[in-house]
Amino acid sequence: MKHVLLLILSVALVSCAKAVRPDMSAILNDTPAANLSEYGLFEDAGARQPSQGVVKYDLINPLFSDHADKHRFLFVPDGHSAVYREDDVLDFPVGTVLVKTFAYDERYLETRLLIHKRDGWEALPYIWNETQTEAHYAPIGKRIEIAAGVAGSDVPAFTYAVPNKNQCKTCHQNGDEVHPIGPKVRNLNHQGPHGVNQISDWAERGLLTQLPEQVPVMARAFDPSETIDAQARAYLDINCAHCHKAAGSASNSGLWLDWEISDPVKWGVGKHPTAAGRGSGDALVVIEPGKPLASIMSFRVGSNEPGIAMPELGRALVHAEGAALIDAWIAQMDAVP
């Protein structure tokens, strides 16, 4: 009953107001809003039309998430801006909201918010209702059955997993804090959905300051004009390095897959596994140069079995294109004599 009243109330608000503005009290509240609409991030109940000040963006290389379409938005509070950082995620001010909606075409599944609260980032999952009029706070996540063909013409039926709040943290962990993953400057530096370069656009909008002359660009993981090395390392960076880095959830593996790592052993060449268990697939090392079939990395990226599949969270399907890239990369490495 209370829910229904709230819903009616929020619908009423949305329909009366001429221009919805993000609600800073909801954004900074210690308690997550029960409904996505309470943040005022979108003009409409279906979250198709961003409110004033909420900017759509995309990434050069996205994380693979079972072929879901992702709609990303940034909100930076009025009068504030993010500070440029070369290798890390941009330094977003308190009150920033990163919005990511996962969808198959027009069917929205979930919207994840990363909110920079006064004492750090918080990850908040919201799940869309059947009628697509509201998304409700869902800290324990959900499993959603996806019919064959929905995620792609040749994709069979599968179970899509909305992560729970702790699982959000598993991937977004940086030391003891929750941290965004995608919006690093090198991963944003291209022509975005507004048809202009996102970095200069954000600077012009006043969302980003202290921009240097030269801004690095990430290699496109599936652009054959890049070297295979650059493609594969770019793919690993966005799909694996959020855990496989010194301050990440998989730090204890000693397998560090961020773009900046230069020691081949650290990104797996000739490296023995630590806690792979049956995830080793009978291979002896993470990467056996020249031999994807003898490489644990190929085995785990190519599996969708729990306990074997990597990443552990965020996908139920194998990313065939990604697995093929990793295989091709390992295959062309010079074999150890």
Q: By the criterion CB under 8 A, which residues form the site for another protein?
A: 3, 31-32, 34, 127, 129, 136-143, 159, 161, 164-167, 169-170, 173, 176, 246, 249, 251-254, 265-266, 270-285, 296, 305-307, 312-313, 316
Nearer of residues 296 and 326 to another protein, judged by Cβ: 296
Nearer of residues 101 and 249 to another protein, judged by Cβ: 249
CB of 7 to another protein, least distance (A): 11
CB of 246 to another protein, least distance (A): 7
CB of 272 to another protein, least distance (A): 7
CB of 180 to another protein, least distance (A): 18
**320-331 and 228-239 are packed helices; what angle lies between their axes, rounded to 10 degrees?**
130
CB of 118 to another protein, least distance (A): 18
CB of 11 to another protein, least distance (A): 17
Nearer of residues 22 and 273 to another protein, judged by Cβ: 273
Residues 6+ apart with CB under 8 A from 82: 76, 90, 91, 92, 93, 96, 202, 207, 208, 209
Closest of 234, 230, 201, 235 to residue 215, by C-alpha = 201
Nearer of residues 139 and 206 to another protein, judged by Cβ: 139
Nearer of residues 118 and 143 to another protein, judged by Cβ: 143
Long-range Cβ contact pairs of 121-129 (< 8 A, separation 24 or more): 121/172, 121/177, 121/178, 121/179, 121/180, 122/32, 122/178, 123/165, 123/168, 123/169, 123/172, 123/178, 124/32, 124/165, 124/168, 125/162, 125/163, 125/164, 125/165, 125/168, 126/35, 126/36, 127/162
Percent helix / strand / coil, the chain, rounded to 5:
25, 20, 55
Residue 323 neighbours by CB distance under 10 Å = 20
Nearer of residues 154 and 282 to another protein, judged by Cβ: 282
